[in-house]
Amino acid sequence: MEISAEAAKLLAVGIAMGMGAIGPGIGIGLIGRGAMEALGRNPEARGPILTNMILAIAFAESIAIYVLVVVMLLIFVI
């Protein structure tokens, strides 16, 4: 069985997106868990904890967005 070039490209794109999204997904989960544990221990520090959590989630999401841009380039340019 022979695979076409287009099928190989789409398979590579799917693997790239999956591998590129798993890291930020795990990271966001760990950030959320850490923030909830911190809030449970010190509810008075809600403001700084929430601010830092949102900032860290934004940085993790930006990595996933970069992966999405690369995947779009692979689909439409190459």
Q: Specify the number of domains making up the chain.
A: 1
Using pLDDT thresholds of 50, 70 and 90, give the confidence band for residue 78: confident
Tell me, what CATH number does 10's domain have? 1.20.20.10
3-state SS of the chain is CCCCHHHHHHHHHHHHHHHHHHHHHHHHHHHHHHHHHHHHHCHHHHHHHHHHHHHHHHHHHHHHHHHHHHHHHHHHCC
Supply the angle between the helices 5-41 and 46-76 in degrees, to the nearest 10: 180
Q: By residue range, what is the domain housing residue 63?
A: 5-76
Confidence at 77, pLDDT banded by 50, 70, 90: confident
Name residues whose C-beta falls within 8 Å of residue 60's C-beta, 6 or more positions apart in sequence: 24, 27, 28, 31
Given this model, what pLDDT does residue 32 score? 95
Question: Tens of pLDDT along 17-70?
Answer: 999 999 999 999 999 999 999 999 999 999 999 999 999 999 999 999 999 999
Q: Would the pLDDT of 1 be above 90?
A: no
